[in-house]
Amino acid sequence: MFLKEYITEVYNGVSSLLKGMRKTGYYFVHPKEIITEQYPDNRAHLNLAERFKGEVIMPHDENNEHTCTGCTACELACPNGTIKVVTKFEVSPEGKKKKAIDALVYRLELCTMCNLCIVACPSDAIKMAPNFEHSVFDRTKLTKVLNHPGSKIKEGIE
Amino acid sequence: MYSLEGITKSIQDWLFLKFDPTLALAIECVIVILLAISLFAILGLVLVLMERKVAAHIQIRLGPNRVGPGGMFQTVADTLKLIMKEGLTPDNADKFLFNLAPFVVMMVGMLLLAPIAFAKNFQIWDINIGVLYISSVSSLSVIGILMAGWASNNKYSLLGAMRSGAQIVSYELSAGFAVLTIVVFTGSLQISEIVASQQTGWWLFKGHIPALISFVLYIIAVTAETNRAPFDLAEAESELTAGFHTEYSGMRFALFFLAEYINIFIVCAIGATLFLGGWMPLHIGQWESFNHIMDYIPSSVWFMGKTFFLIFLIMWFRWTFPRLRVDQLLNLEWKYLLPISLFNLLLATVIAIFGWHF
Amino acid sequence: MYNQTEILKDTSELGAEGELVINMGPQHPATHGVLHLVVTLNGETIKKIEPHLGYIHRSIEKMCESLTYRQFIYVTSRMDYLSSHINNLGCALLVEKGMQIEVPDRAKVIRVILSELTRIASHELWLGAMAMDLGAFTPFFYAFREREMITEIMEDTCGARLTMNYIVPGGLMYDLHPDFQKKVKAFVKQFKAKVTEYEDLVTNNIIFQSRTKGVGILSAEDAISFGCTGPVARASGVSCDIRKIYPYEVYDKVSFNEILDTAGDSFARYMVRVKEMNESIHIIEQLIDNIPDGDFVGKTKNVLKLPKGEFYTRVETARGEFGVFVVSEGGTTPHRIKFRSPGFSNLSALNHMAVGSKIGDLMATMGTLDLVIPDIDR
């Protein structure tokens, strides 16, 4: 009886090992199953999710206009002081003073992509962009001004 | 027809014609040494790339594919990097042994190259106790590993070396018994005679069940002897970081790395010689035309094909199985492999005495 | 003055005769992070394990005290990063409980689906990493293939793969991606087809079984006294699934089993996790076609202020019970916050489980504890 047990033990052990080898052998002879992506090569047709949180951007339309009113809601919502809103007063032709942004400073090196600023923004002036290639040689380049030079606020946004 | 046999013969004739016999022999020795070293380098490069490609395809990856077409020169680049790197010696290490160890391991590999028949009549040294020579020299490699583990003055290295010592010494036994089975069938220790005895068919097919069992035992035992997964306890990455070569860097690490692959090649070459007929083409009984076609394939191709098949088998093991624990490793040897191989040897002897094999 | 002989004398006192003290970590392939174990060995046999923590301490609890109730949720993703979604859920539940915010049904169901997907993703990664600890490299890649599908679903819907921050007090940050249901169904199909591969490669493998069976045994009493939760305790027969005992969200409306095992060894812990993945799939299948319509976020005030008092909620992460304790003074930020992380208590049992076994067993034991170091250190 001992011998029978011994032999079944050996047989079961070997067959379990062979089953595993069949599985790996299957993948070895089926190169179609390969799932890796060739990243720098497939950059042109890289399929990124549209919601991917890569960095904060401020969309501008063709007249170089944005919708940021400078309300600092994003600055308040940010947990780590990533955003700094610098405001100025614009004097309109009628002589009215109007608050507007001078610069929306965004420090990418502090950002954790938590999306709280986007949710807080009342005028949808900023959004997340699916850009993830952020590496630069100089740290100061990570501090960005989101509004384009010479841009101004869109008409009718309060 | 150009064969390796013809080339060596013409070179030898030319040398003996030009120089006096002693000098000619010396020149031959130098040529052989150069060939052996270049074979080592090429084998190292090819096998490392092969391992990485096999691993990648099993793991649904592509593997190296940046340097050269299909990543062909990846290992060349790796070697260049390793040569450039600084070879550190730990402060409290036994410097002499520490520096000696990789060379001891390499030397064992080189010595084992001598009796291997690479092709028809293409052999460095056809020693008449070939199999005995192989099994005695191959057990020397444990000394190099123990040396490396002890001299590094690192606890991980020491643990790895001790494991390796226990492991190689035990698995020598079943590897030896597996080889003995074929020696019993052949009645000779000489490699060339063992190959010649497989003219009519390989021992794997001719030797009935005992040959098959001893082939399986041999593959398991040599996997353990070369410290390959699932028996890679000496370097057990997740347990001992890198085991006995934790402290090695640069070219000395590369020598250990190379030695591992050379050892695989050698044990697979021996396995191919003993069980799969070495350089003998595949012959099937009375199929004259089939046998004739097989004869057209050069013997060196046959040899390399069989060896690389066995190497692939060992790589396949590595990328499929988990690692054994150290006590289970010894259990496997002493409770399973050794009794089976003893019984198997007995069976083989009976078959050989009665002449039941083909 | 640096005196070498004195230092050498000091270290020699650490180990008695015949003992070998090795430092496993902070950089070691098997600790999966910066865990530092001081292991006392006698040959290959472990005599004592002393975990040293603090290498990745970021004082998250203190950080949270300076953040508002909307902001502190995202930091908790950085603790147990493999079940970040469930951590966020625990914090959001606390705020909702404290302020009596009504959460729409749609948000509740989506939260549960995403939690279960997170749990599967976490267990997949654990499975691969554990097999790798035991020396089998290939299952890691197969497990990651399935996990990749989940991270892609997360990427589509939440915008991130690991630290999602999709949950806000009152509901969700934004609505589901239109492809969500289709992709989840595709994942469920793929997972069911491929789960047999793990059986062939890992579960039924004789080497794997002999490496894990009877290794690192934790009895039910010990599991309770060490405060172990999650699959570690359930493998010892302690019923501790928060989803069953204190159901939150819609866990009381779905049917699923609490996986229990009594062996308490590494193999039992392995099997509990593998079966839990199937249970999670079962939950997802029940909910995926029944996501109610409606708002994805409830009505909340602009500035959240928790009333004065103490609040505690718990959720079941992939590793066990995750508790959030907040003392509020009535302001916009917590006065004091404390997280009860499952990894910390589970790690405390390691010494008890591994003493007397071999170094190889330590890897099996540690692997099945499923330690995430930032979760332990915070």
Q: Residue C1's pLDDT is what?
A: 47
Looking at residue C13, its pLDDT comes to 47
What pLDDT digit, counting tens, does each position of C106-137 carry? 888 888 888 898 999 999 888 888 888 888 88
Mean local confidence (pLDDT), C210-222: 86
Could you give the CA distance from residue A132 to residue C155 in angstroms, rounded to a whole number? 13
d(CA C51, CA A82): 36
Find the closest chain A residue to B63 by CA distance.
Answer: A36
> What is the per-residue pLDDT across C235-247, written as a single tens digit (0 to 9) for each?
888 888 888 888 8
Q: Say whether both B47 and B122 belong to one domain.
A: no
pLDDT classification of C6: cutoffs 50, 70, 90: low
CATH number of the domain bearing residue C122: 1.10.645.10
Residue C15: its pLDDT value, please? 53
**How far apart are alpha carbons C93 and C87 in whole angstroms?**
10
Least confident of A41-50, B336-345, C246-255: A41-50
Q: What are C231's two structure tokens?
A: 């699959």
Interface test with A, best of C62, C65, C71, C174 (most A CBs within 10 A): C71
| Number of domains making up chain B | 2
Q: Looking at the structure, tell me whether residues A27 and A52 fall in a common domain.
A: no
User: Which run of H or E residues covers position C210?
Assistant: helix C206-212
From chain C, the residues in CB contact with B58 under 8 A are 138
Is the pLDDT score of B101 beyond 50?
Answer: yes
B228, B314 Cβ separation under 8 angstroms: yes
Total domains present in chain C = 2
Report chain B's terminal Cα–Cα distance, integer Å.
32
| Helix/strand/coil for B87 | coil
Asked if A28's CB is within 8 angstroms of B316's CB, the reply is yes
C203 in contact with A, Cβ within 8 Å: no
CA distances from B316 to A27, A49, C142 (A): 11, 37, 16
Token pair belonging to B271:
């396995």
DSSP 8-state code for residue C292: P
pLDDT reading at C337 higher than 50:
yes
CB C113 within 8 A of CB C287: yes
B2, pLDDT greater than 70: no
- Domain span at residue A27 reads 2-33
Instruction: Count Cβ–Cβ pairs < 8 Å, chain B vs chain C.
Output: 83
Structural domain including B197 reads: 88-354
Residue A64 lies in a domain: yes
C28 contacts B241? CB cut-off 8 A = yes
Residues B70 and B105 in one domain: no
**What is the average pLDDT value for chain C, to the nearest integer?**
85
Residue B238 and residue C20: Cβ atoms within 8 Å?
A: no
Confidence check: pLDDT of C39 > 80: yes
First to last CA, chain A: 90
Question: Which among B54, B60, B319 has CB closest to A34?
Answer: B60
Indicate whether C12 pLDDT > 50.
Answer: no
What integer pLDDT is reported at residue A85 of this predicted model? 85
pLDDT at C343: 86
Greatest mean pLDDT among A146-150, B19-23, B219-223: B219-223
Asked whether residue C137 falls in the same domain as residue C204, the answer is yes
The per-residue pLDDT for range B137-179, each reduced to its tens digit, is 888 888 888 888 888 888 888 888 888 888 888 888 888 888 8
Bridge partners (DSSP) listed for residue A55: A129
Count contacts between A and C (CB, < 8 Å): 65
Q: Which chains touch A (3 or more CB pairs under 8 A)?
A: B, C
Residue B44 falls in which region: left (phi positive, over 0), alpha (psi -120 to 50) or beta: alpha
Q: Do C128 and C12 reside in the same domain of the chain?
A: no
Does residue B220 sit in the same domain as residue B194? Answer: yes
Average pLDDT over residues B246-260: 84
Write phi, then psi, for C56 (nearest 5 degrees): -125, 30
Both B75 and B92 in a single domain? Answer: no
Mean pLDDT, rounded, for A99-110: 84
Domain count, chain A: 2
pLDDT at C3: 52
> Cα dist. A133→A43, A52, A108 in Å?
11, 13, 12
Residue A117 CB contacts under 8 Å (≥ 6 apart), including other chains: A56, A73, A74, A75, A77, A78, A82, A83, A126
Our CA-based measurement puts residue C32 at a distance from the nearest CA of chain B, in whole angstroms, of 10
Which chains share 3+ C-beta pairs under 8 angstroms with B? A, C
Whether B67 has a pLDDT exceeding 80, the answer reads: yes
B270, B271, B272, B274: CA torsion to nearest 10:
80
| One domain for residues A9 and A69 | no
Within a domain: residue A41? no
Instruction: Kindly report the number of other CB atoms within 10 A of residue C205's CB atom.
Output: 26
The crossing angle, in degrees rounded to 10, of helices B21-58 and B299-318 is 40
Touching C: which chains, 3+ CB pairs < 8 A?
Answer: A, B
Q: Exposure of C227 by Cβ count < 10 A (0-12 exposed, 13-18 middle, 19+ buried)? A: middle
pLDDT at C142: 87
Of the candidates B61, B62, B320, the beta carbon closest to that of A24 is on B320
| Judgement on whether residues A73 and A21 belong to the same structural domain of the protein | no
Print the domain residue range for C28: 4-52
Is residue A60 domain-resident? Answer: yes
Instruction: Write b or e for each residue in B26-41: b if 16 or more Cβ atoms lie within 10 A of its Cβ, otherwise e.
Output: eebeeeeeeeeeeebe
CB contact under 8 A, B62 and A34: yes
Phi, psi of B304 (to 5 degrees): -65, -40
In this structure, the answer to whether residues B300 and B255 fall within a common structural domain is: yes
Other CB atoms within 10 A of residue A103 CB: 16
* Domain shared by B187 and B244, yes or no: yes
Confidence of residue B19 (pLDDT cuts 50, 70, 90): confident
Give the pLDDT of residue C266.
87
Question: C-contacting residues of A 20-59, CB under 8 Å?
Answer: 20, 22-24, 35, 49, 51-53
Residue B357: pLDDT over 80: no
Closest CA to A33 of B59, B60, B58: B60
